[in-house]
Amino acid sequence: MTKTLDICVCTYRRPELTKTLTSLMALVLPDGYDVAILVVDNDDHPSAQRTVDAMAQNAPLPLRYVHCPQGNISIARNGALAHSNARFLAFIDDDEVAPANWLVHLTGEMAKSNADVVLGPVEADYPDGAPDWMQRTRIHATMPVWVDDKIITGYTCNVLLDRQSTALQGRIFDVALGQTGGEDTAFFAKVVADGGRIAFSPDALIYETIPANRVSFRWLLRRRFRMGQTHGQLVAENGVTARLWAITVGKVVYCAGVALLQAVMPARRNKTILRGALHVGALSGLAGGRGLQQYGPGFTQRKSE
């Protein structure tokens, strides 16, 4: 029996969308799957419609356009869930390029592991002039988070969902996080909390184009702080204790001390500072701090985290 699979691309005023869709048109399709592409435009105006309609005319795969305005990424992701009737749903960002066998690897891992969700890695494609320490440390790469050999959350920049999974039934992305970010982290953390299992396919690699505005330490600091806020908010749902505060503060102090010792080693120092920013963000999340706006009018689309 043929399985249905939609590849969803949520987009927001991004010219790289054409490259993303071109790579999807060239995919090797996994045996036994009926594959289609769904583009969900989160711009107030249907700015991507002309591009999608033009490419759909000669596309080897069904290509649909859906307009879900308001500049809130959760609304776009929920629009994908609402407009797709496929059993399987893959997400890829609108600044990424998928190699030909990307989908074969994702579906293969799902069949092998019988997981509810499968993640793949994302590697950065840096522009000319990007700092050497960024490229050597792969600081923009995206990988799962393991705790005790278990993946505890996920992301939407390279993922495949089995929508028949009990842990995914009726689940949507939190609209309150749709402009600050972290909506996908929260989504997958709750999938795991409800018994869902996340697997990883190291061969299901995709590449992210890093724009010049993200090749900055300031952008990375904001991103890590915001990621920490999401973690802190999730942990706070189970109650905040004095011990938890002490541990988190201790991590901040530790990172500050280590960064001082690494002052003459830029790559190590900067990674440690970014780790410290993550823990400072966690403190903010534990305290109920307001999330930094990362998405919507006045912002280019941020990465899934």
DSSP letter at 213 equals: G
Distances (CA, A) of 125 to 144, 193, 210, 274, 278: 19, 34, 6, 20, 24
Candidate from 20-29, 36-45, 83-92, 178-187 with smallest mean pLDDT: 178-187
Name the one residue in this structure whose structure tokens are 């780790």: 275
pLDDT of residue 98: 98
User: Tens of pLDDT along 17-26?
Assistant: 999 999 999 9
Evaluate if residue 301 carries a pLDDT over 60.
no
User: Tens of pLDDT along 257-272?
Assistant: 999 999 989 999 999 9
Q: At a CB cut-off of 8 Å and minimum separation 6, what does 87 contact?
A: 3, 4, 5, 162, 163, 164
* d(C-alpha 168, C-alpha 177), whole Å: 19
Query: What are 122's two structure tokens?
Result: 């994302």
Evaluate if residue 55 carries a pLDDT over 80.
yes
Question: Considering only CA atoms, which of 195, 125, 126, 196 is closest in space to residue 159?
Answer: 196
Question: Considering only CA atoms, which of 123, 39, 43 is closest in space to residue 295?
Answer: 43
291: confidence class by pLDDT, cuts 50, 70, 90: low
Average pLDDT, the chain: 92
Query: What are 100's two structure tokens?
Result: 């030909």
* d(C-alpha 149, C-alpha 146), whole Å: 6
User: Tens of pLDDT along 192-209?
Assistant: 999 999 999 999 999 999
User: Tens of pLDDT along 124-163?
Assistant: 999 999 999 999 999 999 999 899 999 999 999 999 999 9
Q: HSE on the CB side for 51, CA within 13 Å? A: 20
Evaluate if residue 82 carries a pLDDT over 50.
yes
DSSP letter at 142 equals: B
* d(C-alpha 82, C-alpha 112), whole Å: 28
Evaluate if residue 298 carries a pLDDT over 80.
no
- CATH code of 3-214, in short, is 3.90.550.10
Helices and strands in the chain, H and E counts: 9, 12
pLDDT of residue 71: 81
**Phi, psi at 147, each rounded to 5°:** -135, 120
Q: E strands within 133-180?
A: 146-147, 150-151, 158-162
DSSP string, 262-301: TTT-HHHHHHHHHHHHHHHHHHHHHTTPPPPP-SSTTSPP
pTM: 0.89
